[in-house]
Homo-oligomer: A and B are copies of this chain.
Amino acid sequence: MSTDKKFVEKITSRDVDFAKWYTDVVKEAKLCDYSSVKGCLNYLPNGYAIWENIQKNLDKRFKETGVENVSLPLLIPESLLQKEKDHIEGFAPEVAWVTQGGSEALEEKFCIRPTSETLFCDVWQKQIKSYRDLPLIWNQWNSVLRWEKTTRPFLRSREFLWQEGHTIHATHEEAEERTKQMFKLYHDFVTEDLAIPLVYGKKTESEKFAGAEDTYTIEAMMHDGKSLQSGTSHFFGNKFPDAFNIKYLDKENKLHSCYETSWGMSTRIIGAIIMVHGDDSGLVLPPRIAPTQAMIIPIAQQKEGVLEKANELLKKLKNIGIRTKIDDSEKSPGFKYAEQEKLGIPIRIEIGPKDIENEEVIIVRRNDRKKISIKISDLEKEIPKILEEIQKDMYNSAKDFLNKHIFEAKTLAEMKEIGNNNIGFIKAMWCGNSECEEMVKNETEGFGSRCIPEEQEKLSDTCICCGKEAKHMVIWGKSY
């Protein structure tokens, strides 16, 4: 069996049509499909299981920093949504309105939450009286709804799953620190658990969240060179708390403003996993979040002893906590390989009569199809190691790709040329003016500002657009 054969034939080649490749991968792996509820998705078992593992790992990281989970209502009264003016301006055009409850027309209409800043403020306004009530570090796992015009699996849909963390603090410094802490936490989770390398930094004024003072973002490069915003952390200062009149008394009985943050990551990140790691045979899942980490495929399973041995391995691996399955269906090994490949299961374990005779199994790594022969007696020692190696190799390979596709430009002409001849991101200097930002995007046919990285480089003294003094080095890219 060749190590580079493409088992899965129904998937469009990634280089031929990236968008079609993406939807083929999603469809063949049965991750989600379009609902007949227009604009919405059905998250099917294979897709939802990935989300469950993301939730589990991310929630654990949250709780280690003192986050507590809550659940606030789905509905927001219109008057509540309107309390912070930038926020309502940002969200009003894209919310769904409930106007009727049971058989009665409602006096005040409710929107379905597009995000829950206003609801958290409403709870806190009643709860917070003194410095003893602060800080509150809350999060909820839920779905939100925004009346989008287009629908793409995981990337854009009217309803999507996410977590939204909201925190409130006594001081500016503490809130700012939490904003950065969660930004860092997202970075670590995505690079370590999802094997996705990132660029990251602040959003520009025009790209930040409606109502925020600062938005920090992590951005991943998809295989077509576009950026996917993968998690954001917002610092609100006291805009929201003041709009909702949330104040606290300090030890000396003086009244003070509070400071807020919010931060979110959504099922979009599953889109990033697909578009960073996937290949022409389908999904390639990082071992740490793969619902199944190893698939045992018996060869010549009708022969005596093969299924027994295969089931023995299954039990052994399950016992040491490896998420393992066996495919003992009547289908051919080739068909089973294709199934395992399109589902992106990190390790395939092939075991047939000859392997049993030699007291070994063949391991095939999904990410690079490397074959390894290991002794059955070493299985419990080797499989966890191989999974960790795959995790690391997937990160390194994606990191190589990212590094090779970040360019530098000193003039707008240079930037256009790079953009015309390459996929990827471009680093360039910027004066801080949003008109220049807009012009760069128009002139380059879509290279918008992705982030202002914390680690700045001085590529030149002047803005790439207007030629005035440069204030920031920005990473520019096309985006999802």
Contacts and interface: CB of A to CB of B under 8 A. Distances in A.
A99 interface: yes
A123 B37 contact: no
A411 interface: no
Contacts of A72: 35, 42-43
Interface stretch (A74-82, A181-189, A218-226): A74-82
Contacts of A68: 45, 48-49
Copies of this chain assembled into the complex = 2
A96 interface: yes
Given A49-B69, A97-B98, A99-B97, A37 B76 contact: yes
Interface string A73-99: 111110010000000000001111111
A401 interface: no
Contact of A70 (B44, B97, B110, B119): B44
A101 B96 contact: yes
A45 B70 contact: yes
A358 interface: no
B37 A52 contact: no
Contacts of A69: 45, 48-49, 52
Contacts of A74: 40, 74, 112, 143, 145, 159
A102 B98 CA distance: 11
A95 B99 contact: no
Given A37-B76, A68-B49, A74-B145, A93 B98 contact: no
A407 interface: no
Nearest to A137: B45
A69 B101 CA distance: 29
A113 to B, nearest CB: 10
A119 B112 CA distance: 19
Nearest to A138: B45
A215 to B, nearest CB: 23
Contacts of A52: 69
A158 B74 CA distance: 10
A122 interface: yes
A420 interface: no
Contact of A73 (B37, B75, B119, B123): B37
Nearest to A149: B102
Contacts of A101: 96-97, 147, 158
Interface residues of A, number: 51
A36 interface: yes
A253 interface: no
Contact of A147 (B73, B102, B119, B159): B102
Interface string A418-460: 0000000000000000000000000000000000000000000
A2 interface: no
A36 B96 contact: no
Interface in A99-117: 99-103, 109-110, 112
A58 interface: no
Given A37-B77, A75-B40, A93-B103, A98 B70 contact: no
A3 interface: no
Contacts of A70: 42-45, 48
Nearest to A110: B37
A74 B98 CA distance: 13
A113 B73 CA distance: 14
Contact of A75 (B97, B119, B123, B159): B159
A51 to B, nearest CB: 8
Nearest to A37: B73
Contact of A100 (B33, B97, B102): B97
A161 interface: yes
A31 to B, nearest CB: 11
Contacts of A37: 73, 75-77, 80, 110, 119
9 contacts: A33-B126, A35-B123, A37-B77, A40-B74, A42-B123, A43-B72, A71-B143, A75-B96, A98-B98
Given A36-B122, A74-B145, 12 more contacts: A42-B70, A42-B73, A44-B70, A45-B69, A71-B143, A73-B159, A74-B159, A93-B102, A93-B103, A96-B101, A96-B110, A97-B99
Would you list the 10 A-B pairs with minimal beta carbon distance, nearest first? A45-B68, A102-B147, A40-B73, A43-B71, A97-B100, A101-B147, A37-B73, A99-B99, A96-B101, A96-B98
